[in-house]
Amino acid sequence: MNDGTVCKTRYPILMVHGIAYRDDLPLLKYWGRIPGLLRRSGAEVFFGNSESWGSYEKNAELLCGRIGDIVGKTKCDRVNIIAHSKGGIDSRFMITVLDTRRQVASLTTISTPHRGSYIADVIVNKLLNDKKIYGKLLDLYGRIIGDKDPEGGKVVRQLTTAHMKGFNEAVPDSKDVYYASYGSDLKKGLNDPLFYFSYNILYEKEGVNDGLVSVTSSRWGEYKGTFTGKKRKGISHLDIIDFKRIKTGGIDIPSLYREIVKDLKEKGY
């Protein structure tokens, strides 16, 4: 099978981003070189176009409309979702609460905090607790990059461990959708200075993590494995979406996604 068909799945791929970014920003692309490789390998790839600081309720509505557009354009009745970070939470809420299970064949989550993140707990307790200014700053940033109705403070609270415990009880998986997940391991904070402090804080509380999300929290549905670099180099929360567009720890990130989509194809999705 050549590269031109290896990712030619039965259903198109919908890629859903996490917080603090948008699909329509002109300079830096959230998914790096990944969409290009998937398309060259035969996949139809679309983006969720959700808000950077939208709550999972609001982003789920946007994703629902986006799926309607894709289904109409491709004449396929379902999509495969690949979601990073909070995008996985938005997608789970959409599937179950907005009842889109018949339009979603599979949901693959990458470093999604299904059980919340202790980092969100720390932010809420240290910065957002009775200090509305920080939430307003997140909202301002969201509006600057294009959000219509950002809710930064609410979004961080939704990612706390306590909130996600309630979420998981209230939002069960659909039997009509295949759920798979992957985590990533930074190995040590110095491997990505941006996450130096958060990695160490999270490691003490939740163990192996990528700087924002622990491997334990990223497990959902069929856990397919933990991405990490070779030898001492790990893979951070941003590395895993090819944000830096370089090999990380000797790993070509886009090729990991080609394998993910190849696996979906082999499963009939």
Using 50, 70 and 90 to split pLDDT, how confident is the model at 130?
Answer: low
Residue 131 pLDDT: 66
Residue 1 pLDDT: 47
And the tokens for 114?
């299904």
And the tokens for 128?
């957002």
Residue 180 pLDDT: 98
Percent of the chain at pLDDT > 70 equals 99
Q: Per-residue pLDDT for 164 more than 90?
A: yes
Residue written as token pair 């699909």: 23
- Three-class DSSP category at 99: coil
If one compares 45 and 250, the residue with the highest pLDDT of the two is 45
For the chain, give the mean pLDDT. 95
Find the mean pLDDT for residues 98-110. 97
Find the mean pLDDT for residues 233-243. 95
**Residues near 172 by Cβ (< 8 Å), separated by ≥ 6?**
96
Residue 32 pLDDT: 94
Q: d(Cα 179, Cα 72) in Å, to the nearest integer?
A: 24
Q: At 81, which helix (H) or strand (E)?
A: strand 79-84
Q: d(Cα 183, Cα 109) in Å, to the nearest integer?
A: 9
**Residues near 244 by Cβ (< 8 Å), separated by ≥ 6?**
32, 238
Find the mean pLDDT for residues 76-104. 97
Tell me the per-residue pLDDT of 211-231, one tens digit each, with 9 for 90 and over.
Answer: 999 999 999 999 999 999 987
Find the mean pLDDT for residues 179-197. 96
Residue 37 pLDDT: 97
Find the mean pLDDT for residues 80-104. 97
Tell me the per-residue pLDDT of 61-83, one tens digit each, with 9 for 90 and over.
Answer: 999 999 999 999 999 999 999 99
**Residues near 66 by Cβ (< 8 Å), separated by ≥ 6?**
14, 46, 48, 49, 50
Identity of the amino acid at 208: V
Using 50, 70 and 90 to split pLDDT, how confident is the model at 4?
Answer: confident
**Residues near 86 by Cβ (< 8 Å), separated by ≥ 6?**
18, 19, 56, 112, 113, 155, 159
What single DSSP character describes residue 86? Answer: H
Identity of the amino acid at 129: N
Find the mean pLDDT for residues 27-33. 89
Residue 221 pLDDT: 98
Find the mean pLDDT for residues 50-57. 97
Find the mean pLDDT for residues 119-144. 88
Using 50, 70 and 90 to split pLDDT, how confident is the model at 2?
Answer: low
